[in-house]
Homo-oligomer: A and B are copies of this chain.
Amino acid sequence: MKKLNTSPISGMQEFLPATQATFTNLKNQIERVFHLHGFQRIETPIIDRTEILLAKAGGDTEKQIYKVVKTAETSAEADQALRFDNTVPLARYIVEHESSLSFPFRVTQTGRNFRGERPQKGRFREFYQCDVDVIGRGQLPLAYDAEVIATLYAALSAIQLPSAVARLSNRKILTGLIDSLQLTQFSAAIFNIIDHIEKVPAATTRESLAALGLTEPQIDLILQLTTISGPAATVSTQLAALSIDNPTFAAGCSELTAVLTLLEHKGLGAHAVADLRIVRGLDYYTGNVFEFILPESRAIGSICGGGRYANLASHYTDQSFPGVGGSIGLSRLFYAITENHLIPDSTPTPPIDFALLPVSDQDFPAAFQLADQLRSANFSVDPILTDKKLGDKFAHAAKNAAYAIVVGANEAASGQYSVKNLATGQQLPLTDFLSNIQ
C-alpha cells in the first residue's frame, strides 16, 4: 500500500473533538446573539461564478482565489471559484432576491471562506467568518451603524471577551482633509500610509508622506488628525479645532459623532471610542469604519472590523443598496484566544455528559432505557457496548464523558443507579444527582 499523507493540507484547521466542541460553542454563541439582535440567517453557495466573485476584486484576492476545475458534467458552464468572503455572495444574493426581501434587511452569514494564501501563524486558507450586515434600498439611516457595532460587541461579550473596544473613524474625515489640502491625487497612497501607522515607527510615516511630495505643514495636519481619539464630545472639539472647511470633512465628523452618541445611549460608551487612525485599508468602505481590539491584548490586533458602504452591489446593478456590516474572523480569533489564553483556561468540558457502562450484554436493554431517560432530560449519553472489562470501560469513559454510571443486574432490577464524577471520583445516587441540578 502506498503510504499517503493523512495530515490536513497546510493552512486548514482541524480539531480534536474537545477543541471542536469549544470552537462550535463559540460559533453557536455568536449566532445566537446575532439572531437575538434581529439578524436573519442566510447561506450562500461556497462555489460561485468567477465573474461574480472577481467583479470588483483585484490585487491579492485575484491571486489567492481558488478556481474549481469543471467536471465532465459541468463543462458547459461559466468559470467557477470558491468564495473568499461572505460579502460578495451577499451582494449577489441581494440583487437576485431583492423583490422578495424587505429593507432595511438585517442579515447574517456564518460560513467558511477560502483564500489560497501562503500559510502564516494564525492565518488560514479555509476560515470561518461570522458576518452581520444591514442593507437598505436607496437609503439606510446612520442608526444602523450603531446597531451593527452594538451587535458585534454583544457577540464578543457572549464569547467572554467583554473588554473589547470598538475604535471608530469615518473615511470622509480623512477624505475631506485630503480634499481641502488639494491632495486628492494622493488619496489612495495617503490612506494606505495611515492604514499602516500603528505598524511602523512615526518617522517612517512622516518619510512616506514626505515621499509623496507633501509639505511639512500638510504632514503635520494629517498626523495631528490621526492623534485624535476618545468619546464623542472630546472628539468633536478636537476635530473642530483643526478648522477644516470642507463639506465631506464636516459630514464625516457629524456621522462619526452621531454613531458614538447612539452607542453611548446604548450604554456602550466605554466600549466605543473614536480613533482617527482607523481607515480599514483599501476596502470598499465609504463612511464610518471600525475595528475591535482587546485593550489587554493589543498585540493581537483587530479581532473584528467593518464599516459603512455607499453601495453594496454596484458591480451587479444600477440600484443603490447602501449597507453597514462587520465580521468576526472566527478561525483567526479562535487561534488568538487559544494561543494567548484569552478565555480563562477552566478544565475543558468533556464532549459527552454520561458514559453508561453495562456490565454484560444482558444489561444492554437496561442501559438503553436509562440512556433514553437521560437524553429526554437533555443529557448526551454514550452507552459503551464493548465486551471489555469494567476498568477499561472506565478508562474510555474518562476520556470522553463527565460522569459514568455502571449498569449491572442489581442496578437494573432496583433502578438504583450511582453516578460517578470522572474528574473528582465522587459518587452520588442518580436521583440525588438529578434533583441537585434542577
Task: Give the interface of A toward B (CB within 8 A).
Answer: 1, 4-10, 12-17, 20-21, 24, 35-38, 40-49, 51-52, 55, 63-74, 77-78, 80, 82, 92-93, 95-97, 100-104, 106-107, 112, 114, 116-118, 125-126, 141, 143-144, 147, 150, 262, 265-266, 315-318, 351-352, 355, 361, 364-365, 368, 371-372, 375, 378-387, 396, 399-400
Contact = CB atoms under 8 A, between A and B. Distances in A.
A207 to B, nearest CB: 30
A380 B36 contact: yes
Copies in the complex: 2
A364 B262 contact: yes
B20 A41 contact: yes
9 contacts: A1-B318, A4-B315, A13-B45, A17-B40, A17-B107, A45-B126, A65-B71, A102-B396, A102-B399
Given A52-B6, A67-B69, A77-B9, A368 B265 contact: yes
Contacts of A45: 8-9, 12-14, 126
- When A and B form their complex, which 8 residue pairs have the shortest distance between CB atoms, in order from nearest? A38-B382, A71-B116, A12-B45, A143-B385, A17-B40, A102-B399, A67-B69, A6-B96
B38 A380 contact: yes
B77 A10 contact: yes
B68 A64 contact: no
Which of A48, A64, A380 is packed against the most chain B CB atoms within 10 Å? A380
Contacts of A74: 116, 125
A385 to B, nearest CB: 4
Contact of A6 (B46, B316, B386): B316
A41 B21 contact: yes
A64 to B, nearest CB: 5
A112 B48 CA distance: 15
A352 B38 contact: yes
A46 B400 contact: no
A66 B68 contact: yes
A76 to B, nearest CB: 10
Nearest to A55: B4
Given A20-B43, A114-B47, A384-B104, A5 B78 contact: yes
Nearest to A318: B1
A150 B375 CA distance: 13
B36 A73 contact: no
Nearest to A32: B378
A124 to B, nearest CB: 10
